[in-house]
Amino acid sequence: MFKQVAIKYDQHEFEGHMLYGETNKAWIIFAHGSGSSRRSKRNNWVAQELNKLGFGTLLFDLLTPDEDTIYLNRFNIPLLSDRLLAATSWLINSEDYRGERIGYFGASTGAGAALMAAAEADPQWPIYCIVSRGGRPDLAEKEFLNEVNVPTLLIVGSHDDPVIKLNTWAQTQIMNSQLVLVPGAGHLFEEPGTLNEVVRLSADWFVTHLQKVKPKEGEQGEMTL
């Protein structure tokens, strides 16, 4: 099901859309560096592939149209993180949410926002993992990276040398993280087959960390959040 939504927060309204089935393994919330995940062709394609695997997805604007005209706002990680937390709260309290686990998918500076949001989120929220695509996790700053306690996958193109260095440093600051380089890929993963590899890596990460383990016979199952 495709559903257009409007997230109201701090006297602003942020447009977005959800795509989900009758039952969802989990929810993936997207955060994009330009302020608009819902307009990103790459994010939408990744979301559609995750939908095929049974994940619900939420893509929304992190910035208002006026805010997005100011380039520096795209690097205002505290602001982007605050908006991501608002969207997470909105999802958890929406009629479409049924207690599923939640993962973040951050691209570019949106990855820094996802990490900061995970560090600052309500401990009761079911945020279980993060994937960063060509991200700038370093922008979340060391004090927040050190507080991230969910499994984090950092995906970077093998030809994106400056971002490789930044992600390598960030990996040393995030307790449970893994850095993977996609062969032949640049910053935008425009090369043939490279975005497919991003989808494969992301899907494996989300399936591993978001699916609930079925209890063995005679054992008590995990409580629903």
Instruction: Pick from 4-8, 65-69, 88-92 the range whose average pLDDT is largest.
Output: 88-92
Higher pLDDT, 220 or 74: 74
Predicted pLDDT at 103: 98
List, in order of start, the domains of the chain with CATH numbers: 10-210 (3.40.50.1820)
pTM: 0.92
Residue 173 predicted with pLDDT over 80: yes
Residue 215 predicted with pLDDT over 70: no
On average, the pLDDT of the chain sits at: 91
| Residue 126: strand, helix, or coil | coil
Dist. CA 225–CA 217, nearest whole Å: 21
Predicted pLDDT at 213: 55
| Residue from 2, 43, 50, 4 nearest 27 by CA | 50
Predicted pLDDT at 77: 96
Per-residue pLDDT, averaged over 80-89, amounts to: 96
Dist. CA 153–CA 114, nearest whole Å: 12
The token duo for 118 is 């995970």
Q: What angle do CA 73, 117, 7 make, to 5 degrees?
A: 70
Predicted pLDDT at 40: 77
pLDDT tier at 219, thresholds 50, 70, 90: very low
Dist. CA 2–CA 4, nearest whole Å: 7
Tens digit of each residue's pLDDT (9 = 90 or more) over 112-123: 999 999 999 999
Please, are residues 120 and 150 in contact by the beta-carbon 8 Å criterion? no
Low-confidence winner among 70-74, 157-161, 167-171 (lowest mean pLDDT): 70-74
pLDDT tier at 41, thresholds 50, 70, 90: confident
Residue 196 predicted with pLDDT over 80: yes
Low-confidence winner among 39-48, 143-152, 216-225 (lowest mean pLDDT): 216-225
Please, are residues 133 and 158 in contact by the beta-carbon 8 Å criterion? no
